[in-house]
Every structure is written in C-alpha cells, then in structure tokens.
Chain A
C-alpha cells in the first residue's frame, strides 16, 4: 500500500483460504469455561490468545518448519515470567527439526519431546484458548501450529493433566473433591484389574473368607484363568471404545449400548467371564473416562495391560514392582528439562495448593514452581523502563 506523501510502502498479507468459524472445543468440553476453541488458522489462534492477555510482555516468535509444507509455528510466552533456559531448550529443539511436513500439533510434540518411548504425554495439547492462556500466565510456553486446531503447552508435569479449566470456576471445595476423584480414578484405572487378578490368582489369603467365598462362587463355572478373563473383557471394551470414537454420533451410541450392556450380560450368562470381573472392568473403564486429558487417559489404558501381566505372573509383588517401575519412569522423565514428577518429586509444598486440592484463588498468589517461572508473584510485573524507542 502506498500512501501519498510517504516514502515507504507497506505490504499486507491478504491471502485468504477456506476456514472454519470458531466453535465449541470438541475434545475438551467444559461446563462453565469459554465456548471458543482454537481453529485451523494459526493467526486466528494467536488473536484468541492475545484477547486473553493484552500485555506488552507477551512475546510471539515465528518459526517455519517442514521442507515441503513450510508450516508456520509461533512460540508464545510471557517474557518476564517464563524461564529463558526453557525457552532456549525449546528453540533449539524446534530448530533441530528437519522434516518434510508437519500436519498436526501431535507430530510436532513427538519431534521435540524428551523421551519418545514413554507412554506418558510430555506436553499438554489443548484446543482451549482459556486454558492455554492460564498456562501462559503460569510461565509456560505455547506453541501454535498453523493448520492445526490445537496448541502445545510446555513444560508439562504429570499433575497438570489432572487439572481442567472448570476447576477454577467451581467452588473450591467442590473443585478439590473432583480433583481428588480424578487422582483416585487414575489409580483405579491403572491398578484395579491388576489388583483383582493378583488377589484372585495369587494372594487369595488376603481376601477375607466371606468375600472369598462369594468370589469363588461367581467364578465356579468360568473356565479361564483370571488373566485371560480380564484380557478378554478389557480388549472387548477397548474395541467398543475405539469403534465408538470413529463412528458418527448416533451410530456410536448404539455401539456402546450393544457392547457394554448386551455383550457384558451375555458373557456372564454364558459363564465366559464372572460377573465380578465385569464389575471390575466396567469400573476401570469409567475411571479412565474421568481423567480430563485424553492423552493421559490413553496412557493409563495402555499401562493397564503390563500391570495385569505382572500381577498374573508374580501376584502382589508383581504389582509393587510395576508400581516401582512406574515411579522410576516418572521421576526420570522430564519435559523440556523440567522434572515431570514435580510438584511431587521434587516435592514443592507451595504447589500443593493447586495439585491434589484446589484451594481458594486468593491463597495462590504465587505461580506454581513446577512451571519454573522467573517471576513467582502473580501480580508482579516488570516496571516499564521509560518509553521504548
């Protein structure tokens, strides 16, 4: 654009392409949070973030990767809060990517994560601008990938996958209760079938006589060992779940009806599985649905199987060894050089206010340490040093 009397001309990007309007996020719906989700246009996503944080410290850094696709990435962070070391790490890792195409945020996450053999997600991938903004405010980094409706949040800790935006709009007592419920669900989903197998197949001494008798009665005509019985049910369940996701909504519902109710009922009546096993498997499934992050939920679903195997081979010792390995893995895991197990290990007492519980907002005037902010006071801000030239 040329302006009369000016010596410079401005060039404006007026490219247009088909784009989706801003809608409710599909994967992470919320009750009380905002109903705007990210879309496939990166610039629009940046605009959404800017709307939440109209602050001069908000930095946006562009990168281009993908030899063929020339995908644009933007690293977004608050300069006076986010840790420069983490930024450097993130920049280096993005700089080292040499690939022909990046289609989705998930691909990016896999390319820059610390340990690709871990079942656990090392970055939060969200499609909610409000939760992305709140992570920014805690001192984390956001990577917006053009053409992808979700953004990457780093560094992540294991506990951050159990938080949801709704927690902060509910009463804190209720939100704390729900948080505890999620952690319980995590443990149940990971260990319940394995514990059941261990107790039934190996360490039946542990079960009191009366309970033992009723379990034994329900199992009396089941021809399979407990492991096989559990695997049968778990795999059926996973299939039903997978079938339900890809099918259109109305069909998907009837699948879960057929799968859940009819197959379960028939299997018990045919004495292929015992009804206690159906209860175990069903409660495990429900528990794994409670975990708010889909990525974490799938990790738990997968880890259940090695646990079951260990339990059926070595009883409760196998279970403990499984737990030990899980802990060993979690404490060794890092996300962008930040300990993944934080704030549990290394333990940070101050962060406990917003981990298992969600204490009232006025108690949380410090940013959580696990995001490694350089400015720990939430209300703190850098004094402007005169007018920028």
Chain B
C-alpha cells in the first residue's frame, strides 16, 4: 500500500527540494573557510566533495530502492522492530532538530548583523519562523511548491556574481596545487558539510511520484549545488587577494558590496534580504524532516502539532540563550562531527545489513 500517495511530488519538485536543502547560509562563508584550509586550491576540494557526496547519495538511494514506500522511520521499524527501530530513530531526530536549529540561528544572526541590530533576537526569530511554519504545517506537496517557486524567483542571483569576473585577477589562481594535495584533502570535511542536505532523502524518497527518476533528480540537484559552489568560490578567489580573503567573514557578501547601480547602492543588502528566501527554502525540508520523524516516533499521522511545538521551542530557546556567532560556529562544528555517522555511515550500515539479511533469507528459503 502506498502510504504517502496523497502527497506525491513530481521529479522536478524532488530535485528542487534537494537542491534547496543543500544551498543555505553556508555558501556565503564557504570561500573563506576553504581559503583558510587550502588557499586558492580550495575549488578542487569542492569537486572532490561533490564526488564523495554523489556516492553517498547513490548509496542512500540504492538502499531505499529496495523499500520504495518507506521513509527512514518506517524502514527502521521494519528492520529492527518497533522499539529498537524507534531507538535508532532518536539520534536521527535529534540530528535533524539540531541542524534545523543551527541553520535557523545562522539566518537570525545574519539578519541581526546586517539589518536589524537593535531588534530583539526572539522577535526576529518569530518573524523568520512564521512564514516557514506556514509552509511546514502543510503536506510535503506544498513545501515542494514552495521550493519550486523560490527556485524560479532566485535563479538569477548567482549570475550577478559574473558581473564581477571582469574586474577580477585570474592571476590569483596560479599556481595550481601550490602546496600539494594535503591542504585540499584537509578542507574536505568542511566542504562536505556544505553539501549536506542529502539526508532529507530519508523522508523524501517515498513521496516521489516516479521513482525511476530518483537517481537523475539527485544527480542533477547535487550537480547544480556543486556548480554553484564552484562558481561562487572561483569568483571570490579571482576577485579577492588570496592574502586578504580570509579577512572577510562572508566573502560573498563583501563581494556583492562592490556591485552598484545608478539607482541602487549596497547591493549586498538587497541581495541578502532576497537571499532569505533561499535560506528559508533550506529550513523548510529540515524542519519538515524533524517534525515528520517526531510524529512518526509518537505514532501520529499529523505533523502540524510537532511543527508548532518546534517553532515555539526555537523562539523560547532564542529568548533564553541569545545565540552568538561564536556559539553558532561551535554548533556547526558539532554537526561536522555528527554528520558523517548519520549521513554517510548509517546508510552504509543499513545497506550492508539489508544485503546480509537478503543473503541470509536467500539461503533459508530454497
């Protein structure tokens, strides 16, 4: 029986949700993070990270291909029984919840630093979560439409960076491999983090209308993300001096400050304000995954109540903690520790387990 037939999404929507989940606030700081670790060769580690991530995604997909109508919670329950399955689901739920939280806090910090330094942070959080909640409380279909429309509305944004290429200095990129391979490999973990987002496949996959496009959609989404990051990083490297790029916390925004029109100055502010759309697009699937897992854990069908609880919890937490940039950086670091287990290792273990089970059963039933 198809449990999720009512909320099916098209392959296009599936692709765009994936792409939207991957691209968030991380890209704004990505060129600096890369430059700190591997200098101007950082773009090579993007290609490596892209390849690694593709492999991980394909692994997840080949796992779910065996259980096309299962989400991760369903699968865990199916494989390990009700109690053990739910026990394994707990860390995943915590991961999603934590990821959504750090990403919301990032957005909050950007808004506060750039636009509303004097507004209390919980009010800003309220402001940001209300539209997200309006989307999340609905079915996945509505979220897919949101991702879709935001994609079309913000498609033009990376192309503005191309304006600056003409003023860049390509000489910065030379020489290639200036310190050999080691720095490039060293930057891989951080780069992988910016490719995260494929874990929403855990809940996304059974909703896809035409399963035969699951791999295509994933490869396109991951490819678009990779190309976007490559573009952003190369433009930043070409524009900023390799010695100075590590000065800027968000090189992309510093870069956009340079664009000026006759009728508009400070393009970075307009850009960042509109970029909130993109950021919100990455919040939606994460928060949905969180509340979806939560409702599955509690055995409820409706996820609107957990969504409300989650939103209120974030606002209250912001009110209590008043997160700072340093804390947020620290949290991102925690994610970096947790992500490999849940995003790369978990599907691998499950895959091997499933294959083992199949082999075992194959021997049992001649």
Measured CB to CB, the residues of A under 8 A from B are 202-203, 205-209, 211, 314-321, 323-325, 327-332, 339, 341, 344-347
A319 to B116, CA, bound (A): 13
- The residue on B at minimum CB distance from A341 is B145
Q: A325-B130, A346-B12 are in contact. List 19 more A-B contacts (CB 8 A).
A: A205-B266, A205-B269, A206-B270, A207-B265, A208-B264, A314-B127, A317-B273, A320-B276, A320-B277, A323-B277, A327-B146, A329-B134, A332-B138, A339-B145, A344-B149, A345-B146, A345-B148, A346-B13, A347-B149
Q: Is B158 an interface residue (CB 8 A)?
A: no
CA distance A316 to B135 in the complex (A): 21
Residues from chain B with Cβ under 8 Å of A314 in the complex: 115-116, 119, 127
A206/B269 in contact, CB under 8 A: yes
- Known contacts A320-B274, A325-B130: A347-B148 contact under CB 8 Å: yes
Neighbouring B residues of A321 by C-beta, 8 Å = 127-128, 130-131, 276
Q: A205-B269, A208-B265, A325-B134 are in contact. Are A344 and B152 (CB under 8 A)?
A: yes
In chain B, what residue has the closest Cβ to A203? B269
Complex Cα distance, B130 from A329, in Å, reads 11
- Residue contact B142 to A332, C-beta cutoff 8 Å: yes
Q: For residue A325, which residues in chain B have a CB less than 8 angstroms away from its CB?
A: 130-131, 134
Give the CA-CA distance A316 to B73 in the complex, in Å.
40
B263 at the interface (CB under 8 A from A): yes
A330 CA / B135 CA spacing, docked (Å): 10
Given contacts A314-B115, A347-B152, contact A331 B265 (CB under 8 A): no
Whether B131 lies near A328 (C-beta < 8 A) is yes
Cα separation A57 to B265 with both chains bound (whole Å): 60
- Of all chain B residues, which has the CB nearest A207? B265
Residues from chain A with Cβ under 8 Å of B265 in the complex: 205-209
**The one of A207, A320, A331 that contacts B149, using a Cβ cutoff of 8 Å:** A331
CB closest chain-A residue, reference B16: A347
Q: Which of B111, B130, B149 has the most CB of A within 10 A?
A: B149
Contact with A along B136-153 (1 / 0, CB 8 A): 001000101110111011
B273 touching A328, Cβ below 8 Å: no
Q: How far is the CA of A90 from the CA of B280 in the complex (A)?
A: 35
Known A-B contacts A206-B264, A320-B274; A327 and B150 likewise in contact (beta carbons under 8 Å)? yes
Residue B296 interfacial (CB < 8 Å) = no
B262 on interface, CB distance cutoff 8 Å: yes
- In the A-B complex, the 9 residue pairs with the smallest Cβ-Cβ separation, listed nearest first, are A345-B145, A324-B131, A328-B134, A331-B145, A345-B149, A316-B273, A325-B131, A345-B148, A328-B135
A150 to B274 alpha-carbon distance, docked (Å) = 41
Q: Which residues of B does A touch, CB under 8 Å?
A: 10, 12-13, 111, 115-116, 119, 124, 127-128, 130-132, 134-135, 138, 142, 144-146, 148-150, 152-153, 260-266, 269-270, 273-274, 276-277, 280
Query: B273 touches which one: A209, A319, A344, A346 (CB < 8 A)?
Result: A319
Q: Give the residue name and chain of the B residue nearest to A205 (CB).
A: B266
Can you show 26 pairs from A to B with CB atoms below 8 A apart? A203-B269, A205-B266, A206-B266, A206-B269, A206-B270, A207-B264, A207-B265, A208-B260, A208-B263, A314-B116, A314-B127, A316-B273, A320-B273, A320-B276, A320-B277, A321-B128, A321-B276, A324-B132, A324-B277, A325-B130, A325-B134, A327-B131, A341-B145, A345-B148, A346-B10, A347-B12
A-B contacts counted at CB < 8 A amount to 102
Chain A residues, CB < 8 A from B135? 328, 331-332
Which chain A positions have C-beta within 8 A of B134?
325, 328-329, 332
State A307–B346 Cα separation when bound (angstroms). Answer: 45
Question: Least Cβ distance of B350 to chain A in Å?
Answer: 32
When the two chains form the complex, which single residue of B132, B269, B277 contacts A316, counting CB atoms closer than 8 Å?
Answer: B269
Residues of A within 8 A of B274 (CB): 320
Q: In the bound complex, do residue B115 and residue A203 qualify as a contact, i.e. CB atoms below 8 Å apart? A: yes
Instruction: Report Cα–Cα, A315/B270, bound state, in Å.
Output: 11
Q: Hey, which chain A residues are within 8 Å of B270, CB to CB? A: 206, 316
Are A315 and B12 closer than 8 Å at their CB atoms? no
User: Given contacts A327-B149, A331-B149, A344-B152, are A315 and B276 in contact (CB under 8 A)?
Assistant: no
Residues of B with C-beta under 8 A to A344: 148-149, 152
Contact B115 A317 (CB under 8 A): yes
A225 to B13 alpha-carbon distance, docked (Å): 44
A residues within 8 A CB of B138?
332
In chain A, what residue has the closest Cβ to B273?
A316
Minimum CB–CB distance for A155 against chain B, Å: 15
| Closest A residue by C-beta to B119 | A314
| Measured CA separation A217–B196 after assembly (Å) | 50
Q: Is the CB of A318 within 8 A of B127?
A: yes
Q: With a CB–CB cut-off of 8 A, which chain A residues contact B152?
A: 344-345, 347
- Chain A residues with CB under 8 Å of B273's CB are 316-317, 319-320
For B131, the closest partner residue in chain A by CB is A324
Complex Cα distance, B116 from A212, in Å, reads: 21
Counting chain B CB atoms within 10 Å of each CB, the highest count among A319, A323, A327, A345 belongs to A345
Task: Give the residues in chain B near A329, CB-CB below 8 Å.
Answer: 134
Nearest Cβ in chain A — how far from B53, in angstroms?
26
A341-B149 contact, Cβ under 8 Å, with A314-B115, A325-B134, A332-B142: yes
- Measured CB to CB, the closest approach of chain B to A384, in angstroms, equals 35
Chain A nearest CB from B278 CB (Å) reads 11
Write the chain B residue with the least CB distance to A321: B127
> B266 to chain A: which residues have CB within 8 Å?
203, 205-206
B146–A331 CB distance below 8 A:
yes
Given contacts A206-B266, A208-B262, contact A331 B142 (CB under 8 A): yes
Provide the residues of chain B in CB contact with A316, threshold 8 Å: 115, 269-270, 273
Interchain nearest-CB distance for A112 vs B (Å): 21
Q: Cβ of B263: which chain A residues have Cβ within 8 Å of it?
A: 208, 211
Give the CA-CA distance A175 to B232 in the complex, in Å: 39
Identify the closest chain A residue to B148 (Cβ).
Answer: A345
Q: Are B276 and A324 in contact (CB under 8 A)?
A: yes
Could you tell me the distance in whole angstroms from the C-beta of A310 to the nearest C-beta in chain B?
8
B276 CB to nearest chain A CB (Å):
5
